[in-house]
Amino acid sequence: MKTKLEKVYMAVIFLFMYAPIVTLIVLSFNASKSRARWGGFTLQWYVRLFHDSEVINAMANTLLIALISTVAATIIGTLTCVALMGLRKKTRTIIMGITNIPMINADIVTGISLMLLFRVLHFQTGFVTVLLAHITFNIPYVMLSVMPRMKTLNPDVYNAARDLGAEPFYAFRKTVLPDLMPAVTAGALMAFTMSIDDFIITYFTKGSGFDTLSTKIYNEVKRGIQPEIYALSAIIFALVLALLILRAKIRQRAALPAKKKAALYRKEAHTRTKVIAGVCAAGAAILIAGMAFGGVFSTRGNKLFVYNAGEYIDPDVIDEFEQETGIEVVYDEFESNEIMYAKLAQDSAAYDVVCPSDYMIEKMISEDMLQPLDWDCLPLSRENIGEQYYRTAQQFDPGNRYAVPYFWGTIGILYNRKMVSDPVDSWNILWNPKYKGQILMQDSIRDAFMVALMKDGFDPNTTDQEEIDEATQDLIDQEPLVQAYVVDQVRDKMIGNEAALGVIYSGEATFTLRENPDLAYVIPKEGSNVWLDCWVITKHARNKKAALQWIDFLSREDIALKNFEFITYSTPNIRAQEAIEDPMIRNSKAIFPDADTLARCRTYSYLGKEGDEQYSEAWKKVKSGG
Amino acid sequence: MSPEEPGWRWDLNRKELIRLEHISKSFDGQMILDDLNLVIHENEFVTLLGPSGCGKTTTLRIIGGFEHPDSGRVIFDGEDITNLAPNRRQLNTVFQKYALFTHMDIAENIAFGLKIQNKPEDYINDKIRYALKLVNLEGYEHRMPDSLSGGQQQRIAIARAIVCEPKVLLLDEPLGALDLKLRQEMQYELIRLKNELGITFIYVTHDQEEALTMSDHIVVMNQGYIQQEGSPEKIYNEPENAFVADFIGDSNIIPATMVRDRLVRILGAEFACVDTGFGTEKPVDVVIRPEDVELVKPEEGTLSGKVTEVIFKGVHYEMSVMAGGFEWLVHSTKLSESGTDVGIRVDPFNIQVMNRPESEDEEAIGVDV
């Protein structure tokens, strides 16, 4: 009985620990993009992954950093241990304590302090700074592994070698190092794993135009995780697992009885040489590939620093721009408007051209962070972008002085025609008790309040406390009907017929319509939110000319079309819209609502600190059920 | 002392090999060696003997080059080698815990020094065979060190050291980790080796019996000072101070008064002795070895007392005798039962008279007044 219970307990523990990883690996082979449906087995995500030059580049960076930092940290760490052994025990304990602190220290503190140090020293952030950071945080791990082994060694073994005529380094290499080797290898593998694994410290020290796998994946998350990332994560998991197994093997070997060890040692001496040669060769190959991809060798002077949201451009477009203009693009992605803002507030000249959302543009204009556009240099943007979009842009950029629309979208109701019998044309349907437990709401303050405020006929940017209170009460009343407040699960749940109605972004809606033909998207008659992302040029841009070229290039019909097909959000480029082949999409009311509907929609504006607090307070009430 | 005395093995023409001049060394502010002077001659088996912390191992490591003296010089064969790295000194060391290279087999261990000297392979192989034969471990070439017993490992460590043909072999308590039986075997082995090789051995131990068994010359050390040096017989029979007497074998150390030359008053009774030059009515210490105390009938003894305890030790009986208010330790093959009244007699040659130190410092230095 007891053992049975124990087994069940173990099973539950393992389930908890490994269910997420198993899910991830299974999904990486799922032919359907949806997380809710199994569309058959496929390797396409893996294939696509390896066709994505940015991912390959990030992978090369990751391995290169891991490899070099591991080698450097292993050498430095081991030598430090050797040096420490020569010190008095008390001094040694103190120094070990000091070297252990960075390991206990929060990564974020290490990351920020390194970033500050590099800034103070005027280091150009990028490959070198990330490498230095990784070497820094890897050294303690090597020492942690080597030091205990070092202490068990008989110092007279080294003395014996010296006594027999060996010079210091020869004696160390021949007698101490072989005894230390299991610990050194284990330390090196630990360092390698930590390096591949690291996100936070890398993130703070990488600067612009450089990504490792972890920062790359993080960037992708913003626009909904693509299945390629599952594939990538599965590969990283496999790699780390392999390293852990290797490390365990080495430990096991160290624990073997001497005789067996000797036999193994002999037998493998030959293979080992080969393996070391192989690793070196692979390292060199990765190094060269990384340099080629990373453009370490490039010395072109005409550079354009672009800062865009993740997954927000067809990578081919960047290549085409570079080829046509000869301008080198240093391309970086941000995760949210707030992060982009923080970065520019810190270093106003970091990027030439940026793509923020409406409310953020308003804020940046008010803080004098942008420069007016020279419209004479933007003929395609004037010509191809629809007038109605410039009009929408006036809500945050009066006089259209700063921003060229790039992509836009709305929020609306996605519903299942088989599950909803009433006509869906108003936000009111989300308060209909008939659909109790079938409604999905966005788990976002502004979006949730927008729904309630619009239903009541108020401005979604209101700061009138009475109006907010009324909307708050509405949301509280609605709560029993709501199945869940979610972010990007709306699309999965709707595709999987798990809910009847959901508040969703138009871009996501377009994708769900293709996956499940029973779904329909509607912008309610009361109006909704429209969001508009635009290209703007920073106040202190170093390459203003190239920035204008970049904006106008993106407004070109064929380029805008290419981006539209890649991103699937609504394009403000009328010529591009007209050129869409599929009439279902070209004429889709969901993607391209008519001008009247659009006129009813409002962009969010920046509410200021007080406004934000008003809404946060109200949201707390909603979440706690009144 | 005269050369006719038993145990005198010194060759008057012996050549000086190592000279330590005014060596001082301290660790962390603690004085380990203080102005040490020592001469070691060619082809001697010299033992540095003393309790732990007396500075004997430090002295050896300074000769080997693993420690650097704070002051003073090390002269080897007429040359100052004080600042010479250990790998450039013509001597080899056998370490306390063997210090074999665990990832190399026995042959590789022994060949280590020869390979550094770039000796030809045939020469190396011959040397390995020769060395293994010398230490009675033929056929062990391809064993790994971990698979050998402690005694075998120690012999490999010796083999490894001697193939380099050093002029001096330094041995740092090489038998310390072995059990008693093995230790005795190895002692004879070392004496044999020393005779076969004809080189100088400098041996460090805290075991006085080991020192007495093997050495030509013993240097007794305590608290960083040399207390006494000489042949084993001289050290045993004529300890110069209470420390040496106490450290080397069992002994009765008794406060006494030198009445005049050749007469000493011990516990109120006057004993004839052979020592002169201490003055008259001078407080001294006398050393009398337990086997030198004769138990006779009460009326025949210089001092009378009573046997209080008897322990059978195999070769002899160990007895405690209360006489003159002092508990005497007596070794004898003749049994005197507990409770018997006895008399104590000591041959004049067996009474060793020593100056009594007047301060602790003096006691440590062991000054000869």
pLDDT for A20 equals 84
The per-residue pLDDT for B81 is 93
pLDDT reported for residue B121 = 93
Place of tokens 């007698």: A175
Using CB atoms, pick whichever of A162, A178, A265 lies closest to residue B87: A162
Q: CA-to-CA distance for A333 and A328, rounded, in angstroms?
A: 16
Q: How confident is the model at residue A191 (pLDDT cuts 50, 70, 90)?
A: very high
Q: Which of A389, A396, A349, A324 is nearest to A556 (CA)?
A: A324
More confident residue, B77 or A311: B77
DSSP per residue, A260-282: HHHHHHHHHHHHHHHHHHHHHHH
- Nearest chain A alpha carbon to B157: A160
What is the rounded distance in angstroms from the CA atom of residue A432 to the CA atom of residue A439? Answer: 10
Domains and CATH numbers, chain B: 16-237 (3.40.50.300), 250-365 (2.40.50.140)
Query: What are the phi and psi torsion angles at A232 (to 5°)?
Result: -60, -45
- Residues in chain A with CB shorter than 8 Å from the CB of B90 are none
Q: Select the residue from A157, A163, A259 to test the B interface by mutation, using most B Cβ atoms within 10 A.
A: A163
In Å, how far are A169, A175, A179, B119, B144 from B103, measured between CA atoms? 18, 8, 7, 22, 7
Percentage helix, strand, coil, to 5, in chain A?
65, 10, 25
Domain architecture of chain A: domains with CATH: 54-255 (1.10.3720.10), 303-402+532-587 (3.40.190.10), 410-529+607-623 (3.40.190.10)
Query: Distance between CA A291 and CA A63 in Å, rounded?
Result: 12
CB atoms within 10 A of CB B100: 25
Q: At A155, is the pLDDT very low, low, confident or very high (cuts 50, 70, 90)?
A: confident
CB < 8 Å to A173, chain B: none
A293 phi and psi angles, rounded to 5 deg:
-65, -45
Residues B131 and B163 sit within 8 Å (Cβ to Cβ) = yes
Asked if B112 and A265 come within 8 Å (Cβ–Cβ), the reply is no
Question: For residue A109, what are the contacts with CB-CB under 8 A and spacing of at least 6?
Answer: none
> Alpha-carbon distance B360 to A554, whole Å?
96
- Cβ neighbours of B96 in A, within 8 Å: 156
- Measured CA to CA in angstroms, residue A578 lies from A82, A380, A385, A560 at distances of 71, 15, 12, 11
Q: Looking at this predicted complex, what is its ipTM?
A: 0.81
Tokens of B108: 């590789």
* Closest chain A C-alpha to B198 CA, distance in angstroms: 20
Mutation for A interface: B101, B163, B164, most A CBs within 10 A: B101
Question: Is pLDDT at A299 greater than 50 in this prediction?
Answer: no
Asked whether residue A31 carries a pLDDT value surpassing 90, the answer given is no
SS3 content of chain B, % helix, strand, coil (to 5): 30, 35, 35
Q: What digits encode the pLDDT tens for the residues A474-521?
A: 999 999 999 988 877 888 889 889 999 999 988 888 888 888 889 999
- How many degrees, rounded to 5, is the angle at CA B51 between CA B49 and CA B55? 70
- Tens of pLDDT along A370-386? 999 999 999 999 999 99
Give φ, ψ of B144 to 5 degrees. -95, 150
Task: Out of B92, B96, B144, name the one closest to residue A163 (CB).
Answer: B92
Q: Who among B99, B113, B117 is closest to A159 (CB)?
A: B99
Could you tell me the CA-to-CA distances from A328 to A209, A306, A318, A543 in Å, in that order?
Answer: 11, 10, 9, 11
Instruction: Dump pLDDT digits (tens) for A563-574.
Output: 998 888 899 999
Q: What mean pLDDT is predicted for residues A294-314?
A: 70
What CA–CA distance (Å, rounded) separates A490 from A308? Answer: 25
Q: Using CB atoms and an 8 Å cut-off, which of residues 121-180 of chain A contact chain B? A: 154, 156-157, 159-167, 170-171, 174-175, 178-179
**For the segment A214-248, what is each residue's pLDDT rounded down to a tens digit?**
888 887 765 556 777 888 888 888 887 888 888 77
**SS3 call for B37:** strand
Average pLDDT over residues A123-142: 89
Do A160 and B99 make contact, defined as CB atoms within 8 angstroms?
Answer: yes
pLDDT exceeds 50 at position A292: no
Distance linking the first and last C-alpha atoms of chain A: 48
Interface contact flag, A164 B147, Cβ < 8 Å: no
Nearest by CB to A165, from B97, B113, B157: name it: B113
> Nearest C-alpha of chain A: how many angstroms from B118?
11
Instruction: Kindly report the nearest CA distance between residue B65 and chain A, in angstroms.
Output: 8
Please list the ranges in chain B whose pLDDT falls under 50: 1-9, 366-369
Question: What 3-state DSSP class applies to A60?
Answer: helix
CA A455, CA A434: separation in Å to the nearest integer?
A: 18
φ, ψ of residue B72 in degrees (nearest 5): 100, 175
Pair B69, B25: CB distance under 8 Å: yes
Radius of gyration of chain B (CA): 24
B86 vs A159: CB contact, 8 Å cut-off?
A: yes
Percent of chain A surpassing pLDDT 90? 37
Name the pLDDT band for A339 (thresholds 50, 70, 90). Answer: confident
SS3 assignment for A437-476: CCEEEECCHHHHHHHHHHHCCCCCCCCCHHHHHHHHHHHH
From chain A, the residues in CB contact with B93 under 8 A are 159-160, 163
A267 reaches B (C-beta below 8 A)? no
All residues at 6 or more sequence positions from A268 whose CB lies less than 8 Å from its CB, including other chains: none
Residue B116, chain A, CB below 8 Å: the answer is yes
The shortest CB-CB distance from B144 to any of A160, A163, A258 is to: A258
Q: Which amino acid is at A354?
A: V
> Which amino acid is present at B209?
E
Which tokens go with A383? 């010509």
* Rounded Cα gap, residues B235 and B219, in angstroms: 9
The full 3-state SS of A509-525, as one line of letters, equals HHHHHHHCCCEEEECCC
Pairing mode, strands B252-260 and B91-94: unpaired
Q: Is B282 exposed, middle or buried (0-12, 13-18, 19+ CB in 10 A)?
A: middle
Confidence at residue B112, expressed as pLDDT on a 0 to 100 scale: 94
CB pair distance less than 8 Å for B87 and A167: yes
List the single best residue of A89, A162, A164, A169 to mutate versus B (max B Cβ within 10 A). A164
Model confidence pTM above 0.80: no
Cα distance between residue B33 and residue B59, in whole Å: 8
Nearest to B144 among A170, A175, A262 (CB): A262
B130 touching A (Cβ < 8 Å)? no
Q: Please report, in angstroms and rounded to a whole number, the separation of the first and last CA atoms in chain B.
A: 17
Pairwise pLDDT comparison (A576 vs A288), residue with the higher score:
A576
For residue A175, give the nearest of B85, B101, B117 by CB distance. Answer: B101
Contact call for residues A510 and A568 (beta carbons, < 8 A): yes
Which B-chain residues 26-45 have CB contacts (< 8 A) with chain A? 28
Q: Which of B195, B123, B133, B203 is nearest to B164 (CA)?
A: B123
